[in-house]
Amino acid sequence: MATRKIVELGNETLRKKSKPVVSFDSSLASLLDDMKTTMVEKNGMGIAAVQVGVLRRAVIVETEPGEYLEIVNPTILKTKGKVKKSEGCLSVPGFYTDVERPKYVKIEAFDRNGQKFEFEGEDYVARCICHEIDHLDGVLFVDLTDEGKSYKTKKGVN
């Protein structure tokens, strides 16, 4: 397991839509292992493959301290409620702003072996899942608030 470089705001890769994973093989396993190592080393709560420069629909979310959920080719099935709380991002170091996200999310996805599963999360876990799935579509949390848009303007990035 290797630590990979985090792609940061301003790099056009973050704005691209990630492609579905089609091969559930050792290459995917290595990617997921490296993503977890990178996320833990950088004190993140979630990470998307695009954040390490790989345009594949794969994310990892810390669901409880030391417990990690690997999510491949996710689809959001249902959301409920709205909560506005502070978010940050490994790809936007040092910036935090309040973002409105669902209080509850239900997803369908695959694990590293290609087994389909459903998962439900609330509060912090729902926030993390939605944040990471946004990454797969080229959306960053700074796109979702006026404060984030102002931050991007100050930094001269989109």
Residues with catalytic function? 132
Q: CA 105 to CA 30: how far, in whole Å?
A: 27
Q: CA 15 to CA 87: how far, in whole Å?
A: 19
Q: CA 20 to CA 137: how far, in whole Å?
A: 11
Question: Which amino acid, residue 56?
Answer: R
Give bridge partners of residue 103 from the DSSP assignment: none
Question: Which amino acid, residue 2?
Answer: A
